[in-house]
Structure 1
């Protein structure tokens, strides 16, 4: 066994031992075999927790072909999954073009069930259709694509995991909030107390980031274009303003909107000297990195996750992880907590089981997690939490 496979196996063993919800489901799937005769095509972050999800689906009889997302693939996990007989594409150092080729390779295997993250596989299926029973979509960004760019072009059901209130509470608010703040501290080694943070977006993820930053002593302001969410942020006690208002106030800017072009050249022309720019949304488009580089007068890579971008008037900004999701694409990525992903991947597992065994209960296109699945998982999670009291 190679060193890479051994390292991946050891990491997965630790993660597997702390995901009791998936352990129960893995045993149930081994008995019921809901995915027998199905090929599941996956485009999702390839890290240890995802490996446990794939083991669970494979126990249910699934033939799996998979790739990761750009910049977040962990090579030891790829090596481990390949050692288990799975067809897995991608490396951590893949270019964006190579990532697109990896997604195309998954699509070329013609899976009849999709496990998508960002709707990349769904977009390929819309452009060049093949027989698909249905699938799931992990993210807000992918849900937006399904309901906007791909509206009316998806003839099969796609359960949007991020529409689940259970996931929103457990994974998005608390786990993303925790992992983003932890990753910021680990990557930058900067102190949070007293530092001025601006969080763009006050959905479940953005609100979690804002609350965790404040809990550790940060001064936090929120930018939100939705009036009701902006009102919620104000009622939660955060300063609320526009990017124009806050560009010179903030020391750290974290985007969490799911939309492109949040931090643009107009912002770069006003932002305070030395500001740190980081994104925790799925796609690397919330910070317009191309515009930033075009506007800059030079750049210096300080380490693998920190880059100094010099601006024409003598100011500079610090860009984290090239504008990618820095809690997974940054240095020593950990991502969301084990418990939250046990919950989130159980949502994935039971939603995919519904797609495989009862697609007639679903409608074509994007839709939320069925209520009975949400409630069953909530009961299981509460029981698991009570066991540790």
Structure 2
């Protein structure tokens, strides 16, 4: 059903369009068994509903679906009304062409490398990552590089990112398939109903791979979590193997390495130079910004923080909190990491239990990706302590209910757990990565280089998959990214005071493959 902003425009027989006093309009369809009306009302100008502001602002409308003269026993008009509501919900959620063009403009490095590559013409793409704005930029770049929208399948990891519905709506509007394959299923924390839905999506992904192969296409998977190697070969959510993969996470690499039947080349983005030296700085920044935003009334300066983990992410978060004025105690089971922390001047301890016996933190940070606290540790937590996990399993002892506690929701903040003895701890967010909880996470420009590097690696992998041996390849990513000139372009675009920004490729973002 089309929408006509101008009631004077012609419309099909049986349709009526009438202007309303508030500047909106009503579009009515006579079904023969009742009337169904969609009423559009203009919304007042508000702050942007995206990271980038557009000029002029994108107009917003409120839509209501109404029925009139419909018999209760006639399912036809009601079904039409529901279908209209679903269609409007998806269409209304999608980013506008202006918003996408503005987003595209904000990622100049990605634009630079989004040039057509004939090697991608016979490939299909499965992309599983968080539904954030820079994912929109990446898949638009993938289109421009040569992937057909019909052969792109996007999968959300299930985090409550701020604009996930808008990302999903835009993906559908482009002609992609879009669904959720929840990370809780990967981590073994999903409910039976979530597992059932995940298996349905997995079966659809399998069908997508088979259909691509039937048309003579090869399949590339860009994954954040190693879903292709989860479980035994017989029980996996996705059983059809792609022809090549890019893995974005260390946990995913571990799963793939442990799967003896993985017979495909996998490029290692997780430990690449671009992720280690550029992306993790932005991830850590997003963690600290989200932390400060979710408890805006909290004092940080001068207070004790316990940071569990001093790896690539944990070290950066600890340094950022110390720069804020926090007194940070670092715990890590890796002695070398502990040595590094101590020699950087951090207070250190070998275990959370030891650290909690001698300190009284107001905040405990987790960046380990594993259980960071034991049940014995809970007994030492100060009353009212805040728990902030930036990897999914850090505080799963509480988030998964493996310890009996009385809980109360704190909307927009997290969950208060009443511990034995009457003390309480507030688990911020939903127990998953806090920097993705009702938050957009990383600025588009902040992830520009990493998304560009992923595209560079994807194009190389599609060109050379037939010559790469099965298994995980690290040096390939570092070599092709450096050879592509990405670091020079990054420096000239964002950091140099005198150099001109590097020339970009495609200039606008709304018309790829249309």
TM-score (norm 1): 0.88
CA distance in 1, matches of 2:207, 2:315: 39
Whole-angstrom CA distance in 1 between matches of 2:279 and 2:327: 24
Q: 1:100-127, CA deviations, whole angstroms, 9 ceiling, x for partnerless residues? A: 6445533442162111111113437954
- Equivalent pair of 1:116/1:122 in contact (CA under 8 Å): no
Q: Distance in 2 between matches of 1:205 and 1:50?
A: 21
C-alpha change, 1:24 and 1:291, in structure 2 (3 Å) is closer
Match of 2:457 in 1: 351
1:201 alignment partner, one of 309, 332, 335: 309
Deviation at 1:290, TM superposition (A): 5.1
Q: Map residues 143-222 of structure 1 onto 2, 5 A cutoff.
A: 143-147=253-257, 149-150=258-259, 152-172=260-280, 174-189=281-296, 190-222=298-330
Q: Is 2:49 the counterpart of 1:49?
A: no
How many angstroms apart in 2 are the aligned matches of 1:126 and 1:346? 33
Tell me how far apart the structure 1 counterparts of residues 399 and 105 of structure 2 sit (CA, whole Å). 45
Shift in Å, 1:384? 1.6
Find the counterpart in structure 2 of residue 137 from structure 1: 247
Structure 1 segments (4+ residues) deviating >6 Å: none
Range with bigger deviation, 10-19 or 205-214: 10-19
CA distance in 2, matches of 1:86, 1:291: 33
Q: Which has the larger radius of gyration?
A: 2
Q: 2:385 aligns with which of 275, 285, 292?
A: 275
Q: Which residue of structure 2 aligns with residue 16 of structure 1?
A: 104
1:362 correspondence with 2:468? yes
**Closer, same or farther in 2 for the Cα pair 1:218/1:14, shift >3 Å?**
farther
In the aligned structure 1, how far is the partner of 2:265 from the partner of 2:181? 30
Q: Is 2:120 the counterpart of 1:35?
A: yes
- Matched ranges for 1:74-153 at <5 A: 74-90=164-180, 96-97=194-195, 98-99=197-198, 101-110=200-209, 112-123=219-230, 126-127=233-234, 129-130=239-240, 132-147=242-257, 149-150=258-259, 152-153=260-261
- Verify the 8 A CA contact 2:94 2:173 in the aligned structure 1: no
Q: Classify 1:325/1:21 alpha carbon distance in 2 versus 1 (closer, same or farther; 3 Å).
A: same
How far off its partner does 1:167 sit?
A: 1.4
Please report how far the alpha carbon of residue 131 of structure 1 lies from its aligned counterpart in structure 2 after TM superposition.
Answer: 5.0
Q: In 1, Cα distance between the equivalents of 2:475 and 2:271?
A: 7
Listed one character per residue, the Cα deviations across residues 49-76 of structure 1 (whole Å, up to 9, x for unaligned) are 1011011112223220111112245111
CA apart distance, 1:344: 1.1
**How many residues of Structure 1 are paired with residues of Structure 2 in the alignment?**
378
- Rounded Cα–Cα distance in structure 2 between residues aligned with 1:354 and 1:324: 33
TM-score, normalised to structure 2, is 0.68
Query: Which shows bigger deviation, 5-14 or 359-368?
Result: 5-14
The aligned residue for residue 403 of structure 2 is: 295
State the 1:135 CA deviation: 0.8
For 1:358, what is the secondary structure of its paired residue? helix
CA-to-aligned-CA distance 1:167-187 (integer Å, 9 cap, x gap)? 111111x11221000000111
Contact 1:177 1:210 in 2 (8 A): no
2:377 is the counterpart of 1:261? no
Structure with greater helix percent: 1
Query: Structure 1 unaligned runs (5+)?
Result: none
Q: 2: CA distance between counterparts of 1:368 and 1:343? A: 18
- The residue aligned with 1:377 is 486
Distance between the aligned counterparts of 1:50 and 1:13, measured in 2? 14
Asked whether the 8 Å contact 1:277–1:319 carries over to 2, the reply is yes
More displaced 10-residue stretch of structure 1: 357-366 or 49-58: 357-366
Q: Cα distance 1:223–1:42, how it changes in 2: closer, same or farther (>3 A)?
A: same
Shift of 1:209: 0.6
Does 215-224 or 357-366 show the bigger shift?
A: 357-366
Task: For residue 159 of structure 2, give the secondary structure of its aligned residue in structure 1.
Answer: coil
CA distance in 2, matches of 1:33, 1:220: 52
Structure 2 CA distance for partners of 1:53 and 1:302, relative to 1, 3 Å: same
